[in-house]
Each structure stands twice: as C-alpha cells, then as structure tokens.
Structure 1
Amino acid sequence: MAEIKIIGTAHVSQSSVDEVRTAIDEYQPDVIAIELDPSRFAALKKLARDPTVDDVLEIKNFNTLLVQWLLAYLQRKIGFDVGVEPGAEMKAAIEEADKRGIPIGLVDRDIRVTLLRFWNSLGFFEKIRMFWALIVSIVEIDSGEEIDIEALKDQDVIDVVMEEFRRFSPNGSRALIDERDAFIAHQLVLLKAQRPEGKILAVIGAGHRKGISAFLENPATLPPFDALTREPKPFPWAKVFGFIVTFLFFFLLAAIAFSGVGWTVLLYAFLFWVVIHGAISAFFVLLAGGHPYSAATCFGVAWMTSLNPMLHAGWIGAYVEARVRKPPISDFRKIYQTESLSEMARIPLFKVVLVAALGNLGSLIGTVLYFIFVFPVLGIDPVVVISTGIHNMGAWVTGII
C-alpha cells in the first residue's frame, strides 16, 4: 500500500527549505505532492503568461484581486524580513524533483476558485473586518514588528491561530482552510490509488497538516469532490440591493411630486442625488491616486450607475484609468515585487484596480448618505411628505380607474 508522508512548512522559512531538501534526500519519494495549483506552479517557474489589463477589466473581480495582491505583499514583506522568498520551500521541492526525475503532484485548488469562494462567502461586515485586519497587519509589518516564523509551525500555535481566524471569519476560514484541506486530501488519495506501492511526500503549509491528516485517516468524511471545485454562484445580494435602491429613489421622487411641496423641492432632491453620488465617488477615486479624468468620469456616471444594478461607477472609472495610464503587462510582475505600499500605489495597474474598488465604495456611501440626509437638506418632514404623497398617488390612481 502507498505511503504518504506530510511535511508542514512555513512559506517564508529557511528551515522549511532545509527540511524539504532533507526529507526528499532521506525519504526518497516516488512522487512529491506540493501545495500549488497549475497556475501558481507556472508562475513560480515563470512559465505563465501575465494577464493583460483588458483581462482584468473583463473579469471585473477587482476586490478579490486587490485582496490577493495585499495578501501576497504581506507574505512577501515577512519573507523580506527573514531573508527568504515566499514559496521558497515549494521551489526547493520542485528543484529537487526536477534534479532527481521525481514526478510532481499539484494538489491545491485553483487559486481563482479559492479566492472567489472566499470572497463570496463573506458577509458585508466580514469583508470590512477582513480588509481592516489586512491593512493593520501590513502596517505592523511595515513598521518593523518582528514575527517568529518558526513558531508558526508549532501545532499548538497553529491551533490558536486557526481558532482565532474561525472566530474572526467563520465563512472565510471554511473557504481558505477547511475546503482546501479536503481538496488536498482528495488529491493525495487519488495519488495513492495511482501508485499503490509508492511513497508520496506531501509538502504542505503547516496550517493544513492537521486537517489533511484527519481526512486521510478517515476518507469517508471527505465531502464530494465536485462540491469543492464549483465556482460559487452566491445569491445576488448586490443586485437585489440595487433594485431596492432604484425603487426607493423613484418612489421618493414620486412621493415628493404628489405631496404638493412644489417642483423646486423635487428638482433639488434629484440634484442632491446626482451631486452626492458624483462628489463622493470622485473623491474616493482621487484618494486612490486615480487620474482626474477617471474622477470626472465617476462624478458624471455615479448617479446613473447607482440606479442600475448591472453597472458600477468604479468599473467605468477603471476603464478610463486604464486608457489614460496604459498599464504595461510588466505591471503584474512589478506588483508582486514591490517592497512598500507606496511603491505599489504608484504602479498604473494597481491604480486601475484601486480606482474600481474605491469608486464603487464611494458610490455606495453616497447612496447611504443620500437617504439619511435628503430630508434635512430639503428642509421637509419625511413623514408628512411621504404619507401625503402616497395618499395623493392613491387618489390619482383611483381617479384614473
């Protein structure tokens, strides 16, 4: 029967690199399974084609891409601090496999599917907390706070970290940890079936070792494989929210029109919608370092996109940003090589993605502020206006019938 040996590594640890080389030398595996998917494997070996800015604009996953870049930056900064390139132990495993002619098994899930499932599993407030925690972590690392990398491989420390992550984001931990544990275990079971007499060495992040081992000890507990690989199709809450906003806006205008307060108030209600959405969206684009043309575009379209759940102001602003900045394909590699956030923020492609994310955020904030402040700004009593407007609309409809 095939034998599986799991090494739990830290992705920015020199001792993990040494441990991988030693384990391969001593264990003499027939297959080396590594915690990579084909796209990351190709990127690590510099075989992958960098996507173009048009690819980014077409897919429109600006938020998940931004999270991916910030996570990669955080890992890279930790690696810089300890003098080890992130993923160095995976590179070491690949180099040893190539040198010895040992087949490689890529056992991790497609990073694109993982990030989509992760992002879509988070609620609105979980996303805010996650972004905040990520920024705080980056600030701490940039300020020189030291991290004991080797302690991160200690099982007791791992258990504490994992438990904290589950409390912080139960849905996110399921997508990033539990599902990947199950996916990797499925792949190892498959490798074991393909080589019934062989030896498999699995090079896995230390945080996954416990979960994978539990699945391998009891494969009957593994969830169905196809349930782990499907791209998520979450309930379209954003579109539902957009349709509700559109309905409320036009209902509000109708109520004002039928209430008898005058057409001037109705005009100001509409202008307030245009200005508040445009101004806040444009401000956030400029905050992202976007070009004035992009900010002006968001100012001009935010009021319309807020009434169309299929469009977003940030998307249009990002398109203009891309046409003005003309990011070269090399920007993708530059983003993964930066040594500071300020350096990353100067990269045109990063600006495009940040413009999309913050432009949309500004428009969303504009919607919330509009419904909070529209009546105080107009100087009218909302209860009186809405109740009178509904009554008069009812009378008008009855009169037509």
Structure 2
Amino acid sequence: MAEVNILGTAHVSQQSVDEVRAAIAEYKPDVVAVELDPSRFQALKRLARDPTVEDVLEVKNFNSLLVQWLLAYLQRKIGFDVGVDPGAEMKAAIEEAEKNNIPIALVDRDIRVTLLRFWNSMGIFEKIKMIWALIISIAEVDKGQEIDIESLKDQNVIDVVMEEFRKFSPNGARTLIDERDAFIAHQLVILKAQRPEGRILAVVGAGHRQGIANYLDNPATLPPFDNLVREPKKLPWAMIFGFAVTALFAFLLAAIAFSGVGWNVLLYAFLFWVVIHGVLAAIFTLLAGGHPYSALTCFCVAWMTSLNPMLHAGWIAAYVEARVRKPPVTDFRKIYESESLGDMAKIPLFRVVLVAALANLGSLLGTVLYFIFVFPVLGIDPGVVISTGIHNMWTWITGFF
C-alpha cells in the first residue's frame, strides 16, 4: 500500500524551506504533492497571464478580491519582515521535485472556488468581523509587531489558533480549513490508488496536517467530493434585502401620497432618497481615492441602483474609474508586490476595486439612514401618515373594484 508522509510547514519560514528540501532528499518520494491549485502553481512559477481590469469588472466579485489582496499583503508583510517570500517552501518543493525528476501533484482546491465559498458562507456580521480583524492585523504588522513563525508549526499552538478561529468565524474556518483538509485528503487517496507501492510526500500548511491525517486514517469519514467544489446553497439574502428595500420605498411613497399631507411632502421624500444615497456614495468613492468623475457618477446613479437589486452603484463607479485610470495589466503583480498599504492604494487597479466596494457601502448606508431619518426630515408623524395612507389606499382599491 502506498505510504503518505505529511510535512506541515509555515508559509513564510526559512526553516520550512530547509525542511522541505531535506525531506525530499531523505524520503525520496515517488510523488511530491503540494498545497497548490493550478492557478497558484502557475503564478508561483510566473507562468500565468495576469488578469486584466476587464476580467475584474466582468466578475464583479470586488469584496472578496479586496479581502484576498489584503490577506496576501499581510502574508507578504510577515514574510518580508522575516526575509522569506510567501510560498517559498512550496516553490522549494517544486524546484527539488523537478531537479530530481519527481512528479508533482497539485492537491489543493481551486483558489477561486475557495474564495467564493469562503465569502458566501459568512453572514454580514461575520464578514464585518473578518474584515475588521484583518485591518487590525495589518496595522499591528505594519507597526513592527514580531510574530514567532516557527511556533505556528507546533501542534499545541495550532490547536489553540484553530479553536480561536472557529469561535471567531465558524463558517470561515469550515471553508478555509475543514473543507480543504477534506479536498486534499481526497486527492491523496486518489494518488495512493494510482501508486499502490509508491511513497508520497505531501507538503501542506501546518494547520492542515492533522485534519488531513485524520481523514487518511479514516477515509470513510470524508465528505462527498462534489460537496466540496460546488457553490454553497444559501438564500440570496442580498437579493431579498434589495427587493424588500424597493417594496418598502414604494409602499412609503404610496402611503405619503394617499395620506393627504400634500404632494410637496411626497416630492421631498423622493428628493431625500436621491440626495442621501448620492451624497454618501460619492463621499465613500472619494474616500477610496476615486476620481471626481467616479464620485459624480455615483451621485447620479446611487438612488436608482439602490432600488434595483440586480445593479450596484459601485459597479458603475468601478467602470468609470477604470475608464479614467486605465489600469495596466501589470497592476495585478504590483498589488501582490506592494510593501505598504500606501503603495498599494496608489495602484490604479486597487483603486478601482476599492471604489467599487466603498461606493456600495456608502449606498447601503444611505438606505439605512433614509428609513431612520426620513420622517424627522419631513417633519411628519409616521404613525399617522402610514395608518391614514393605508386606510385611504384600501378605500380607493375597494371603491375602484
């Protein structure tokens, strides 16, 4: 039966690089399995085509892309401080395998699938907590807080870190850790079947080692493979929220119109919707470093997009920003090579994505504040207006039919 040796590494550790090279030399595996998918393998070897701004605009997955870039920056910053590039141990495994003519197996799940499932698995509050924790972590690293990288390979430390991660973000931990443990274990089971007498060295992050080993010891506990690669089924809460906002706004205007308070109040209610969405979306666009043209566009369209669940102000702002800034293809690589958030913020492509994310946030904030302050701004009693409006609407409907 094939033998599998799982080597747990830290992704920004020179000691892990040395351990990988030594393990291949001593273990002499028939296959070296690495915690990479084809796209990351190509990126590591500089074989992949850098995505264009058109690719980014087409996918429209701005929030998850922004989180991915910030995570990559955090990892790179830690690696820079300790003198090791992120993924150096995977690169060393590939180099040693190629030098010794050992086949390489890419056993990790497609990063796009992982990020999609990761982002979609979390609720709105879990996403906010995750982004806030990421910002705090980046701030601490930028201040020069030292991290003991090698301690992260100790199983006791790993257990504590994983337990805290599961408390903080249970859905995120399931997607990033548990599901990938199972996916990699599935791939290793296949490799074992293909090479019944061979030896497989699996080079994976230390946080995955125990989970993978448990699955290999008990393959019957592996979840179905198809469940690990399909988009998670969940209620489209964003879409539901969008339709609810549209319906509530229409109902509110109808109630005001039928309440008898006057058409000027109805006009002011509508103008308040236009202004609060436009102003906040424009301000957040400028806070993201967006061009004035992008902010002006946001001001003009935010009131409409906030009533259309299929469209977002940030998407339109990002398109305008891209037309103005004209990000070159090289911007993707520049983002991953940035050594400070200030440098990253100056890159046109990063601004396009940040504008999209913050413009949408500004428009969403406008929706929330509108329903909180519309009646105080109009100077009318909501209870009287709504009850009178409903009564008059019902009278009109019954009389009409």
Write out aligned runs for 1:2-401 (5 A).
2-401=2-401
For residues 184 and 398 of structure 2, the distance between their equivalents in structure 1, rounded to whole angstroms, comes to: 65
Q: CA deviation at 1:234?
A: 3.1
Question: Deviation per CA, 1:316-356, whole angstroms, max 9, x where unpaired?
Answer: 00000000000000000000000000100000000000011
TM-score for both structures, normalised by structure 1:
0.99
Q: Distance in 1 between matches of 2:231 and 2:374?
A: 40
Q: Which runs of 4+ in 1 moved over 6 A?
A: none
What do residues 75-111 of structure 1 show as CA deviations (whole Å, max 9, x unaligned)?
A: 0000001000000000000000110000000000000
Could you tell me how far apart the structure 1 residues matched to 2:332 and 2:227 are?
Answer: 31
Superposition TM-score, scaled by structure 2 size: 0.99
Q: Distance in 1 between matches of 2:100 and 2:234?
A: 45
- Aligned residue for 2:201, secondary structure, equals strand
2:203 counterpart SS class = strand
What secondary structure, in the 3-state scheme, does the structure 2 residue paired with 1:336 have? helix
Provide the alpha-carbon RMSD of the alignment: 0.5
Q: Deviations over 1:343-399 (max 9, x none)?
A: 000000000000110010100000000000000010000000000000000111111
CA distance in 1, matches of 2:222, 2:299: 50
Q: Deviations over 1:195-231 (max 9, x none)?
A: 0000000000000001000000000000001110113
Count of residues in correspondence between the two structures: 401
Question: Equivalents in 2 of 1:94, 1:363: separation in Å?
Answer: 46
**CA distance in 1 between partners of 2:218 and 2:250 (Å):** 57
Using the alignment, how far apart are the partners of 2:224 and 2:290 within structure 1?
45
Whole-Å separation in 2 of the counterparts to 1:37 and 1:112: 10
After TM superposition, give the deviation of residue 292 of structure 1 in Å.
Answer: 0.4
Q: Residue 232 of structure 1: CA displacement?
A: 3.2
Equivalent-residue separation in structure 2 for 1:267 and 1:287 (angstroms): 30
| Partner-residue secondary structure (3-state), 2:235 | coil
Deviation at 1:236, TM superposition (A): 1.1
Note the C-alpha offset of 1:233. Answer: 4.5
Residues 233-287 of structure 1: CA deviation (Å, up to 9, x unaligned): 4321111100100000010000001001101110000000000000000000000
- SS in structure 1 of the partner of residue 337 of structure 2: coil
Write out per-residue CA displacement over residues 158-181 of structure 1, whole angstroms, 9 at most, x where no aligned residue: 000000000001011000000000
Letter in structure 2 aligned against 1:285: T
> For 1:120-156, what per-residue CA distance to the aligned partner results, in whole angstroms no more than 9, with x for missing partners?
0000000000000000000000000000000000000
CA distance in structure 2 between the partners assigned to 1:393 and 1:203 by the alignment: 68
Q: Which runs of 5 or more structure 2 residues have no equivalent in the other structure?
A: none
SS in 1 for 2:11: coil
